[in-house]
Structure 1
Amino acid sequence: MKLSLTVNETAHELEVAPNALLVEIIRGDLGLTGTHVGCDTSQCGACTVEMDGRAVKSCTVLAGQAQDARVTTIEGLGAPGNLHPMQTAFQAHHALQCGFCTPGMIISAIDLVKRADGRLDEAAVREGLAGNLCRCTGYHNIVEAVLAAAGQM
């Protein structure tokens, strides 16, 4: 099937299998490997990207569901020397260790801040990021980073 979508502000037209997953398109066809595959069951959040303004777990989105969508991956957020405020906060608050969950966690955190409309506290951040698993950090620094970035976005 023919798939047309925009990823990180670049339009793409691809020929994909009807059962292809968005994460496969992003990583394989487009070579954007910042989006990780962790569990393949939508449990860990490592594959989270923004699609049409909402965070989605790309391991459960079929290619056809992304037709004409606008997708942002971690590579589309910022660049060295010009990071997104959430990326800067994760760096400043040491909110990452191995880094495997970080791209999906950052995309989910940005979505959480957008939807919170200024009403975030520690409990809301922990609940809002419950679908993103981190095996290394214990979440404390992640929560601190999200709260700090919320004031900058």
Structure 2
Amino acid sequence: MEKYRPVLGGTQLLDVKMIHMPGNEDLPLPVKMSTGSSGFDLHAAVVEPVELKPGQWKLIPTGIALSMPAELEAQVRPRSGLALKHGITVLNAPGTIDSDYRGEIGVILLNAGEESFRIQRGDRIAQLVFVQIPAVSLKVVESLDETSRGSGGFGHTGK
């Protein structure tokens, strides 16, 4: 089994603990494919190959679980190569993994392509990006400050 090595990207190294779910010790742990990568590749922990037909989505297990500090969120994002070449994306992108979740990470893959797509054990299916979450206090006020945009949204600037 390869040894997990963190890749530094910021000024503070935050420890994220990770385990293989039972029966998935043969799968690689998430890893960054280059020193400049933002995401750690997630692998499919399917027992048998899974066929995704056009327009179909399925929950694909990854065989890992995490424990991370409260100031982190893990986001499950699509892999650009799968999206471009096959139309495979993450349905709820970005999928959120909260710091207090301890179950197996699953990826909801959607086939937005025109052909069936086969997922096999160990395939790289998505990426995991860690994001620091600021401490926020929501406050009810009488009015909001004005901006040039105001309440314009959903295409208000044109095409």
With structure 1 as the length reference, what TM-score do the two structures score? 0.24
Higher helix proportion: 1
The structure with more radius of gyration: 2
With structure 2 as the length reference, what TM-score do the two structures score? 0.24
